[in-house]
Structure 1
Amino acid sequence: MRTLVLWDIDLTLVDYSGVGRRWYEDALATVVGVPLKRLPSFPGRTERSLAREFLATHGFEHTDERVEQFFAALTELAEQDRPSLPTLGRALAGAAEILADLAGRENVVQSLVTGNLPLLANYKLAAFDLHHHIDFEIGGYGSLSEHRHDLVGAAISQATAKHDEFDSVVVIGDTPHDVAAGLHHGTTTVGVATGRFTVTELAESGAHVTLTDLADTPAVARALLP
């Protein structure tokens, strides 16, 4: 049975708490020259959704051109911070082990459904050497849409085009947004309570499986693979 596993990044595989706020605050100053007045909720959101809200909240039109300028500013900030990322965050317990375990299975392909821009996704994982087992070409990224379910659809379409049909698709994340996006496409959804939502909250959002964390590699592998 061939399985496509689609990972969220922030607070599922890695924790860069506080970095996103600083990047967005600096990007806002770069693009429109104003200080941060209000911080929207980040968990489960896409970069396109956040950029539009940051601009609108501070009184600016969120045109596609301005959103792309926001993306360019975020990318430049990530480039500047890239050497320091290993000290600005941490890999979550079990992340490296489960990625390696699944990579060793012949019928498993791993990619991403993440609110991050593609380059930021790569940098965040590479900082802890977690990028080797991920196929970045077929991921769903936050530059695509304000709606997370569009990212899941894009990832599945690209994965199918590259690797042919899959018998099972599994979406893993730490927020109800991740769960809802997976359910929208009929995937198996796994909620991991390593972020701001509890096991109970993730179960109530509809997750087929809930985990406290990724630390027990055999248990996580059983949860992800049919």
Structure 2
Amino acid sequence: MLWNVDLTLVDVAIVTRDAYAEAFRAVTGRPLVKLVPPMGRPDSEIVFETLAVNGVRAEDEHLPGFLAALATAFAARKGRLAKEGRAMAGAKDALRAVSRLDGVAQTVLTGTIKSNAVLKLKAFGLDKFVDFELGGYGEEPYPKATLLQVAQGRAKARLGTAFTADNTVVIGDSVRDVQAARIGGAAMIGVASGRSTAAELREAGADLVLPDLSDASEVVNAVAALTASASRKAG
């Protein structure tokens, strides 16, 4: 089970933007004028686009330097996360309910770099339900569909089970999350809590779409329905 982080589980956009601004200045010596919207993209992609729209010629060395500066800037602001951000409605109850399902391992598939993803979830007590070592993260220079396959490989190495569309579920709020699931090989639950509407998530190919995570039993039923065939095969 792979959860997107931003606007699926938490919303900490204000703190994230401030961290990006500090990282941009640290790397370029200039103030950040425009930060490109995330829209489900990984930090590695956002960095290069942000450099470009601010008139900075991107070089290969910019990415590791920027991501390191972003991690430092975000960590310095971790005390603001719970004050200025929020857990999305029902996020903790949904994570807890899914964690009680037999044979389910929960991790994240996120555009956020790993250290920042951990801090975002920890700020709201959501980290206890997630195995961060199995996830896919924004510092890895791959599209999200490839990150999904990387995460499936990590889970197979740890758990000894091959993960396919029959037993892998992604939950996310953006059309890009849906596309990653479709291409990478996973069932998809869209959550219309972000910038993509329920209609857009359905049109992109989500198997099921929920308005939000506020009904934990609805989330559990959706996961169970999408993995039922795998459970029957295992039995």
2:201 — aligned with what?
A: 202
Of 67, 74, 81, the match for 1:71: 67
| TM score, norm. by length of structure 2 | 0.90
- The aligned runs of 1:34-45 (5 Å cut-off) are 34-45=30-41
* Alignment of 1:185 onto 2:181: no
Shift of 1:12: 0.1
Q: Is the 8 A contact 1:37 1:58 kept in 2?
A: yes
**Secondary structure of the structure 2 residue equivalent to 1:64:** coil
1:96 matches 2:58: no
Q: Distance in 2 between matches of 1:161 and 1:87?
A: 38
Work out whether residues 44 and 140 of structure 2, in 8 Å CA contact, stay in contact via their aligned partners in 1. Answer: yes
2:34, 2:75 → 1: CA distance? Answer: 25
Answer yes or no: is 1:54 the counterpart of 2:50: yes
Match of 1:133 in 2: 129
Please say if residues 190 and 208 of structure 2, whose CA atoms lie closer than 8 Å, have aligned partners that are also in contact: yes
Separation in 1, partners of 2:18, 2:142: 21
Give aligned pairs, total.
222
1-side partners of 2:218 and 2:153: how far apart? 29
> Are the counterparts in 2 of residues 193 and 213 from structure 1 also a CA contact under 8 Å?
yes
Q: Which moved more, 1:51-60 or 1:84-93?
A: 51-60
Distance (Å, rounded) in 1 between the aligned partners of 2:57 and 2:63: 9
CA distance in 1 between partners of 2:202 and 2:194 (Å)? 14
**1:145 — aligned with what?**
141
Shift of 1:151: 1.2
Cα distance, 1:93 vs. partner? 1.2
Runs of 5+ consecutive residues of structure 1 not aligned to the other structure: none
What's the Cα RMSD here?
A: 1.3
Larger RCO: 1 or 2 (CA < 8 Å, sep 6+): 1
How far the C-alpha of 1:146 sits from its partner, in A, is: 4.6
Structure 2, unaligned runs of 5 or more: 228-235
Structure 1 stretch 31-40 or stretch 197-206: which is displaced more? 31-40
Question: 1:7: which partner in 2?
Answer: 3
TM-score (norm 1): 0.94
Letter of the 1:19 counterpart: V
Determine the C-alpha separation between the residues in 1 that align with 2:123 and 2:17. Answer: 19
Q: Aligned-pair distance for 1:186?
A: 2.3
1:104 positional shift: 1.8
Whole-Å separation in 2 of the counterparts to 1:105 and 1:146? 30
Q: Is the 8 A contact 2:12 2:85 kept in 1?
A: yes
Task: Give yes or no for contact 1:47–1:146 (8 Å, CA) kept in 2.
Answer: no
